[in-house]
Amino acid sequence: MSVFTKASLAAVIVSSAASAQTSLLNVVAVQQARIDALENQLKEDVCGTYGQVVFNSVANLKGTQATGDQNTRTFWNIPYVERFKTKGQLTRNLSKNYYNGDLYRKGPAVYTDVFEDLSGKIITILRAQADGIDERTMHFINPKLIGGNELSYTHQFASGWSSSDQDFDSHGTLNCATSYGNVTQHYGTCWIYNLGVDAEGSNLDEDWGPHINSDVLAPAGSGVQTDKTLYTRVSRVTRCAKPM
């Protein structure tokens, strides 16, 4: 017959608890790995479903210390002469800044703008089509909204475009790019979402990168996570193009 002292019994209890905790941690780790794999697959499927990646702007977690392509705000300072060039690196999980302006010249296409909120939730903001692009002004030819947010469509698709050295946006008195961190993109007067800056304070927001109007991203009751400001940070914004 086994005889347990208080000390030996306590040791058994501690050992059993540690074993159970280890098993629980292993289960949690496996589940988290599955979640991460599904999230990566979802990101990969975004433009697999909607075509090729035109641009991908990701949150800069290193702040103002980030350099090169990792600094999202400065990444989008693309000169007019480079508007059709490729910049950055396209990764399967869309984890890096990337731009392929040449896709705009491929003729009629359907474009889809997809956001990832701060919790990893994927939201499609708009889908629109165009017959092509005016290579001088970067205005879409015969743009048409298919679905999604009309304000985003108006300002980031159906209006104008600007870089720090060329002003083709729809604002009558200023260049939207130079007014907002030298970020090159399509602008109306000026934006609902931006690839590189904020619309509040100094606009730079520690070089975080992509922002969007919070009411557009997260209507009441949607469950989409924002940073509780008027123009929220997001983890990523991607534009896909699928030939018609």
pLDDT at 222: 83
Domain assignment of residue 184, yes or no: yes
Flag whether 26 is in a domain: no
User: Does 44 map to a domain?
Assistant: no
Asked whether residue 14 is domain-assigned, the answer is no
Q: Which domain holds residue 175?
A: 51-243
pLDDT at 27 (0 to 100): 62
- DSSP structure string for 117-174: -TTS-EEEEEEEEESEE-TTT-PEES-EEEEE-HHHHHHHTSSEEEETTEEESS-SSS
| pTM score over 0.85 | no
Residue 216 lies in a domain: yes
| Vertex 198 angle, CA 98 and 88, to 5° | 10
**pLDDT single digits (tens) 60-75:** 999 999 999 999 999 9
213-239 pLDDT, tens digit each: 999 999 877 889 999 999 999 999 999
Q: What is the DSSP letter of 195?
A: S
What average pLDDT does range 186-201 have in this prediction? 96
- Domain presence at residue 42: no
Total domains, the chain: 1
| pLDDT single digits (tens) 76-85 | 999 999 999 9
Q: Is residue 12 part of a domain?
A: no
Q: Could you tell me if residue 221 is inside a domain? A: yes
What is the per-residue pLDDT across 5-60, written as a single tens digit (0 to 9) for each? 656 655 655 566 666 566 666 666 666 555 554 454 555 567 878 899 999 999 99
